[in-house]
Structures are given as C-alpha cells and as structure tokens.
C-alpha cells in the first residue's frame, strides 16, 4: 500500500482514482487520512464546520467492497470531499454559518450530496461559510460561526467569502475537492485568494435542492479542486435536471476533453486596462505572464468591452429583494441580532424596504444584459480578466476599505465581470496564475451559457503549460 501523506494530499482526482482502482491505497485508508488531516488542520484555518468521521469511514468501506468485486463507478469513486455548510446532509447540523441556525438539522440530503454519493464519493466534512453566505452584506471576515476564514498561504490574510471553508480546505490539502456556492463572487473570490482552481457553472446547470437559498435567480453551486480537469469530472457528476429545483435548466453536462477545440480557434476578449492599471502593481507581472501563456497556446486575444450597465446596483437590488423574502421571518424576529456583524443586520433589515418596482425593473434590465452578452459572444468565445485585482486582503481589514492609491482608471475594463456574469447566469473558471508578495493571484475566464467545456479546455491547456495549480502553501 502507498503511504498516504505529503504530496498525496494534493493529488488530482485521476491520480487518486488510479491508486484506488489499482488498490495501491484503499478508500478506507484515504478517508481516515483525510479525516485526520481535517481534524488536525481544519481549525487552523477556521475551515472546518463539522467532521463527518463515522459516515465517511462507513461509505469508504462500502467503496472498498465494491472495488474488491471489480465494480467501478467512475473517477470520483472513493474520493473524499467537503461541502460548504449551507448544503444539507441528513441528520447532521447545517448551520448556514450563523448562530440563529446553529442547531438546524434537515432530514434529507442536498441533490449534490445525493449525486456524489451515487458516484461513490465520500463526504468527509461540512466546511465553513460566512453567515448566511453574506446575505445583507458584511464588513469583516469574522462574520462566521467558525471565525474569519484564514488563508493557508498566510493566516494573517483572508481566505475569501463566502465559500471561505471550501477554498481554504482545498488549498491546504485537507480535501481533494469541495462544493461551494456563488451568488455574486463567492466562488471566484476565495478561489483567487487561495490559489485553487474552481468552476462557477451556468445558472441552472446544477440543482440547488437542499442548499440554503440566498437569491433564487442567482444562486449556483460549483466545485473547488486541484485542476480544470478535476472541475470537469466533478461537474459531470453534479449537473443535470432536478424536478425538486424548478430553477434547473434541464441540461446534463459531459466532460469531453477529447473533443476540445484547437486553441487557435478560440477568441478571447480582454481589456488591457485590467492588467495594466486596475491590477495591484505587485500582481501585474503575474497577470502579464499569464496572458502571454494564453497567447502562446494559440488563443487569439482581442480587445473587448463589457456591455454598458450599472451592474453593481442591479445585482444589489436583486439579491437584496430576494434575500429579504427568504429571511423575512429571521429579520422581523429577535434572532437576527445574534448575527456577528452589525452591518449585516442593518443590511438585512434595510432590504425589507426595497420597492417591488425597483426589483421588477432590475429583473427587466437583466434580460437586456443577457441579450447584450449574447451579442458580445457572437464575436468572442470567452472573456478573460483577473479573478481579483490582487492577492488576499488582511483578515482584519474592513471589506469596504479603499486601499487604492490615487484615482481609479477612467476605463472600467472588465472589473464588473463578477457582477455581470452572475446577473447573466454565465459560467466562470478560476485559474491560479502566479503570485504577488508570496500570495496567489488568478485569472477568471467567463463564457456564454453552457460553454463549460470550452472554458475547461482553455484552462486545461493553460495548466499543461504552467504549474501554478500544483503549488501548495509552505508547511502543508
């Protein structure tokens, strides 16, 4: 049997699958090693919400029996993983990261948990999240039951929100992959800060049944993993129609790298001002080098601009109105005052006063945004920009602090792509692309609806030419 430790905690899904199928390691051994690592290091990063030791070992032993009989289910069989603690697992607490729900238990599994269980994956832990996935807005990273998400690259820095636990756990080698969620940046931001690959799927491609609702028309579940290939394998398992989630699109996803387009046929739209002026000065060399790698791969980079809309106010109106409806009982009751961040409490209460006319206008403009992006993607296949402007912020810094020196550039470039992409329901892939001050930075690729295979093909090519996704924090 192979020794489970060191670099094996940072192995990709295909690498682990090969060891399991050849029985060089057993699923039980792998699960016990992951459980031990989660217990030891999870609290170090405030990443662990709940350890699922007994359930994980029982599932892993079932997988070993299957493998012994030669029954294989696919690449995720026997692979441990974690879920953000807004995803339900029957009989265990699902706290939504918030004190008012600390004792909340559901009697059913979320759809993603059910699908992964069917593939033979081993759920090892619930992972931390910002309270209510950031509903109402928050100013400080400490707004979580587990405390502020600490970045494995430097624990004085934030791991990002609201999927703080999944990103930190994957970055630190606590789990091979994790499921997080995004409404407006909660996959892109922590993946960028923690230096891991992550995928925000097209709206409706993955069922949200059994996951906390924040904004019904914006919420998406997606994977944090070691590589673009890993993300494709995970998405293939969790995607698909689900009658229990009326927001699902009725589409399946099959990861097909064997049919990937030649990179010379891929046109990528980008805004030079993003990398030259908006990016943190310390991160610019890494971003410039990453763009050069894309060019060397054959991708045609052409200048492009986002459609001209006020994305920030629009998405704030949609999220605010929908979350006020979701959490109305909490907001009107006394338990709302148990939340850690007064800014979040005030934001939730204020959202009750959003006029219906404002919400409906915002929803009508979203249709115009979708039409505008359809026209934009007639000329380009993907959009490329930064995941975030620079590396992770200090964990005790206010999230609305303005740390930029001097006036911002006049050209907004694609700095609103997170808000715009979420409003339009577009998929995004986050690719680690270098470092700034010993902290990771990342690219963000965005495509038209259901273009995940194109994004993953570009990401796979990028990662075959670089090794940023293979780096892991010192001491882990």
pLDDT in tens, 209-254: 999 999 999 999 999 999 999 999 999 999 999 999 999 999 999 9
Provide CB contacts within 8 A for 236, sequence distance 6+.
253, 254, 255
Residue 325 annotated in active site: no
> How far apart are the C-alpha atoms of 297 and 375, rounded to whole Å?
26
Instruction: Round the CA-based radius of gyration of the chain to a whole number and report it.
Output: 21
What pLDDT does 405 receive?
Answer: 78
CA distances from 429 to 187, 227, 338, 351, 456 (A): 9, 10, 35, 31, 7
Instruction: Answer yes or no: 84 catalytic.
Output: yes
pTM of the model: 0.98
Residue 114 sits at the vertex; the CA angle it makes with 113 and 115, to the nearest 5 degrees, is: 95
Architecture per CATH, domain 1-398+408-476, reads as: Alpha-Beta Complex (3.90)
d(CA 216, CA 254): 25
* Contact between residue 226 and residue 10 where contact means Cβ atoms under 8 Å apart: yes
pLDDT at site 6: 83
User: Which residues, other chains included, contact 278 with Cβ-Cβ below 8 Å and sequence gap of 6+?
Assistant: 386, 389, 408, 409, 413, 415
Instruction: Please state, in angstroms and rounded to a whole number, the distance separating the CA atoms of residues 463 and 433.
Output: 9
- For the chain, the structural domain boundaries read 1-398+408-476
What pLDDT score was predicted for residue 157?
Answer: 98
Please tell me the distance from the alpha carbon of residue 407 to that of residue 86, in angstroms, as a whole number. 39
Query: Which one from 59, 84, 126, 220 is the annotated catalytic residue?
Result: 84
pLDDT score, position 184: 98
What pLDDT score does 107 carry? 98
- On whether the CB atoms of residues 422 and 362 are closer than 8 A, the answer is no
- Contact, 90 vs 108, CB < 8 A? yes
User: pLDDT tens digits, residue range 147-200?
Assistant: 999 999 999 999 999 999 999 999 999 999 999 999 999 999 999 999 999 999
Which helix (DSSP H) or strand (DSSP E) does residue 323 occupy?
helix 311-326
Handedness of CA 16, 22, 27, 30 (dihedral sign): negative
Cα separation, 315 vs 320, whole angstroms: 8
Any idea of the CA torsion for 20, 23, 29, 31, to the nearest 10 degrees?
A: 20
Q: Which portions of the chain are predicted below pLDDT 70? A: 1-3
Supply φ then ψ for residue 278, to 5 degrees.
Answer: -75, -35
Q: Which residue among the candidates 88, 162, 227, 316 is catalytic per the annotation?
A: 162
Q: Backbone dihedral region of 167: left (phi > 0), alpha (psi from -120 to 50 degrees) or beta?
A: alpha
Sequential DSSP letters for 415-432: TTHHHHHHHTT--EEEEE
Asked if 162 is an active-site residue, the reply is yes
Report the first-to-last Cα separation within the chain, whole angstroms. Answer: 22
Integer Cα distance of 149 and 131 in angstroms: 12
Which residue, among 154, 405, 178, has the nearest Cα to 277 in the 3D structure?
405
Q: Please give the Cα distance from 116 to 81 (Å, whole number).
A: 9
Question: Distance (Å, rounded) from C-alpha 251 to C-alpha 425?
Answer: 14
Burial 434-450 (b: 16+ CB within 10 A, else e): bbbeebbbbbbbbbbbb
Select which of 144, 181, 186, 192 is catalytic.
Answer: 186
Task: Name the token pair of 454.
Answer: 């194109």
pLDDT for the residue 2: 60
Identify the pLDDT of residue 143.
95
pLDDT at residue 1, as a whole number: 53
What pLDDT is recorded for position 367? 97
């Amino acid at each position: 049997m192979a020794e489970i430790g060191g670099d094996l905690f940072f192995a990709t899904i295909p690498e682990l699958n090969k060891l399991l199928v050849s029985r060089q390691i057993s699923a039980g051994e792998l699960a016990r090693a992951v459980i031990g690592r989660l217990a030891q290091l999870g609290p170090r990063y405030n990443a662990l919400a709940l350890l699922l030791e007994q359930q994980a070992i029982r599932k892993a032993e079932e997988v070993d029996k299957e493998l012994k009989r030669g029954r294989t289910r696919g690449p995720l069989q026997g692979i441990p993983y974690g879920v953000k603690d807004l995803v339900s697992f029957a009989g265990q607490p699902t706290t939504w990261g918030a004190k008012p729900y600390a004792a909340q238990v559901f009697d059913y599994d979320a759809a993603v948990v059910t699908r992964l269980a069917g593939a033979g994956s081993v759920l090892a832990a619930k992972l931390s999240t910002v309270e209510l996935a950031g509903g109402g807005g928050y100013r400080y990273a400490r707004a979580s039951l587990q405390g502020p998400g600490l970045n494995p690259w430097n624990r004085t820095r934030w791991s990002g929100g609201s999927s703080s636990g999944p990103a930190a756990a994957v970055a630190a080698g606590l789990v091979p992959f994790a499921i997080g969620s995004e409404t407006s940046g909660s996959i892109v931001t922590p993946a960028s800060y923690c230096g891991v690959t992550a995928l925000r799927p097209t709206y409706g491609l993955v069922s949200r049944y059994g996951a906390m609702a924040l904004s019904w028309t914006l919420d998406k579940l997606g994977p944090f993993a070691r590589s673009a290939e890993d993300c494709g394998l995970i998405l293939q398992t969790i995607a698909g129609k689900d009658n229990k989630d009326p927001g699902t699109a009725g589409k399946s996803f099959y990861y097909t790298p064997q049919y990937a387009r030649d990179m010379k046929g891929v046109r990528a739209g980008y805004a030079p001002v993003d990398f030259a002026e908006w990016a943190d000065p310390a991160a610019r060399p890494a971003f410039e080098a990453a763009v050069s790698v894309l060019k060397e791969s054959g991708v045609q980079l052409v200048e492009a601009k986002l459609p001209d809309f006020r994305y920030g106010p629009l998405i704030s109106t949609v999220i605010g109105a929908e979350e006020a409806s979701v959490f109305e009982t909490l907001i009107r009751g006394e338990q709302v005052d148990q939340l850690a961040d007064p800014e979040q409490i005030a934001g939730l209460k204020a959202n009750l006063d959003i006029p219906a006319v404002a919400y409906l206008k915002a929803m009508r403009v979203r249709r115009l945004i979708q039409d505008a992006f359809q026209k934009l993607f007639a000329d380009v296949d993907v959009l490329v920009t930064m995941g975030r402007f620079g590396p992770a912020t200090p964990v005790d810094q206010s999230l609305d602090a303005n740390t930029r020196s001097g006036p911002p550039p006049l050209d907004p470039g694609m700095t609103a792509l997170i808000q715009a992409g979420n409003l339009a329901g577009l998929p995004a892939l986050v690719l680690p692309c270098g470092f700034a001050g010993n902290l990771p930075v990342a690219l963000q690729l965005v495509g038209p609806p259901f273009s995940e295979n194109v994004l993953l093909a570009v990401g796979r090519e990028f990662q075959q030419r670089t090794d940023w996704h293979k780096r892991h924090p010192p001491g882990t």
